[in-house]
Amino acid sequence: MQRIPKRDKTVFISFSGIDGAGKSTQILALCQRLAEHGLRVRQIAFWDEIARMTRLRESAGHSIFKGDRGVGSPSAPINRRDKNVRSWPMSCFRLFLYFIDALSARAVMNRARRSDVDVVVLDRAIFDELANLTLSNQAIRVYVRLILAIVPRPDISFVLDADPVQARARKPEYPIEFLRMNRQAYLDLNELAGGITVIAPLSVEEVKREILKHAMKHIPFGAEGPASSGDAAFASDSDACASLSRPVTDPAA
């Protein structure tokens, strides 16, 4: 594999969506594809590298709201109590936390931009926090615009849409009613913020093709001008994916 010289501009790609939408699967697939073509890729997990006061937030969900710890699975469902708690004291505290996270996101993304990586893939973004707010409230909408003004916008912001029932079957952690409300919040956020690419609920392979198609628009290979061999190879991969038959029984995971 030939290493491509560092590009002048680092491309940022974020993945958002309800729990169980299949973000981890698609992030892994995209990172592998980019790395195969010689790009330096860094993955940033929002909760691990951007979110602040995470221990306090985790302990509150467990000790105060009596939620379960860990990650749910079809064989071991859990009942989390954190972002789905909508009491007014928690909502006010959430506004403070998200403001701190916005400042952190700005700093982390600016540092990543100065690094030697070509592509930064964000596993969740500030959109995932804003989708927990009551976006129908006018004051909240003003707050959302403030947060979006603080955090640099990724070049591509994916929201993986998913059927809440299927998503909960894959990752049973929150009540179905919350997932339905949360899904609608992502769609409402797109109308409010703009610039978000919503990927419809499709099979795993179909979603991969859609993501690759959008990524190619922002990640040209080599110098400007005629397509380099890297461009041609990447385009060939995309065309090959697009020519595959459309599976109908493999849900996005």
Total-model pTM? 0.84
Share the mean pLDDT of the chain: 86
Question: In the chain, what are the domains?
Answer: 11-242 (3.40.50.300)
pLDDT on residue 234 = 47
pLDDT on residue 222 = 46
pLDDT on residue 66 = 87
Residues of the chain where predicted confidence (pLDDT) is lower than 70 = 1-7, 220-253
What percent of the chain is predicted at pLDDT more than 70? 84
pLDDT on residue 219 = 85
Query: What CA–CA distances, in Å, run from 187 to 160, 161, 194, 196?
Result: 10, 9, 10, 9
DSSP 87-154: -HHHHHHHHHHHHHHHHHHHHHHHHHHTSS-SEEEEES-HHHHHTTS-TTSHHHHHHHHHHHHHSPPP
pLDDT on residue 189 = 97
Per residue in 236-249, pLDDT (tens digit) is 444 433 333 233 33
pLDDT on residue 198 = 97
